[in-house]
Amino acid sequence: MVNLESILSGINAKNERCWEQLYTSCYAAMCVYVESIVKDMDCSKDIVQDLLVNLWHSDVQFASGRELMGYLYKSLYNNSCLLYTSPSPRDRSVS
**Alpha carbon distance 95, 72 (integer Å):** 37
Q: pLDDT digit string (tens) for 17-72?
A: 999 999 999 999 999 999 999 999 999 999 999 999 999 999 999 999 999 999 99
**Alpha carbon distance 47, 83 (integer Å):** 9
pLDDT for residue 84 is more than 80: no
Give yes or no for a contact between 4 and 69, defined as CB atoms under 8 angstroms apart: yes
**Alpha carbon distance 47, 26 (integer Å):** 14
**Alpha carbon distance 75, 69 (integer Å):** 10
**Alpha carbon distance 70, 84 (integer Å):** 22
